[in-house]
Structure formats: structure tokens, C-alpha cells
Amino acid sequence: MKILKKIMFLSFAIGALVLSSCSSDNSSDDTDVPGSQEGFMKFKYNEKVYTFSEPALITSGSVNIMGSSGIDDTYKKISLWAPLNITTGSHPIVYDLSNLTTTYQATFSFIPEINNSNATSGTINITANDDKKIEGTFSFSGTSKGETFTVTEGSFRIIKW
């Protein structure tokens, strides 16, 4: 019986070691590179890199690819707007609320400095759009309270369900 207990204890200990060595690292370090099956939105603002995990894909009259984090006075958000017939390729960002169904647009919040301001120039480049994901890159700039803001080195992957 003692031998059986030792064998069971050793089996349990070995199993625990194997499971702990295989656990995933879910840290939110900005230098993490998302895996191929994960959604993300990453960008640089004021020389600092930010990452939103699990951005949303919202469709109505247009497609909204939205990443956000924080609440109240730490809220940060990027919304990339595209037509429902989103196509691969490079698309200029055009601020035109009358044509949400045909133009590519972007809005940016970085509370408390910037609250839901529209980009007035930039590019959204859709590199993949299939039944599993939408991927691409972006950069844009605009004006808020008389100050210019610039978002660079943006990239995203939206996993479709």
C-alpha cells in the first residue's frame, strides 16, 4: 500500500509540473507579439506603444473595428470604420460623415486629452479579409482642441466567429 501511495504521489507531482510548465502567459506587456489565432489592435501614440486585446467587430451600416481599454479618465479607444464591402488594399482615411457606407474613417479617444476626435488624414491598409479574420495596418492624424494628434505603426487582427 505504501508503494502505491508513493507511485500516486509521484504521478501527481509529475503531472502538476507538466501542467505548470505548459501554462500560457497572459501578460499585457506591450512588447508581446499576439499569436496567429488571437485578435489585437496595436499602435504608437506619443512615442509609446499601446495594445488592445480582443478588439470588437461591429457591423451595421458600415464595419467598425474597435479597440479600447481603461475607464473614465483612463479611457483609450480607436475605431476604424470601413464599408460593409471591405476590400483588401490601401484606403485613404477621409472624414465624411455623409458617406459612412463608402469611405474609410477613424476616430480616436485618449482621455483626458482627446475625446472621440475624427482623423482627418491617414491610411487603413486591409491585408487580409476572409471568413476567419480581418487584418491590416493603419496610421492617421487629426486635430483635437487645436492640437494635432498622430497615431502611427497601427496594426490589428479581428477574429471572426
- So where are the chain's domains? 38-159
Q: How much of the chain, in percent, has pLDDT values that exceed 90?
A: 66
Q: What is the pLDDT at residue 101?
A: 78
CB 96 within 8 A of CB 105: yes
Q: What is the pLDDT at residue 36?
A: 55
Tens digit of pLDDT for each residue in 71-84? 999 999 999 999 99
Q: Is the pLDDT of residue 55 over 80?
A: yes
Average pLDDT, integer, range 69-98: 93
Average pLDDT, integer, range 102-126: 95
Give the phi and the psi of residue 113 in degrees, each rounded to 5. -70, -45
Tens digit of pLDDT for each residue in 2-49? 443 333 333 333 333 333 333 333 333 333 445 556 899 999 999 999
Residue reference for cell 508503494? 3
**DSSP tally for the chain: helices H, then strands E:** 1, 10
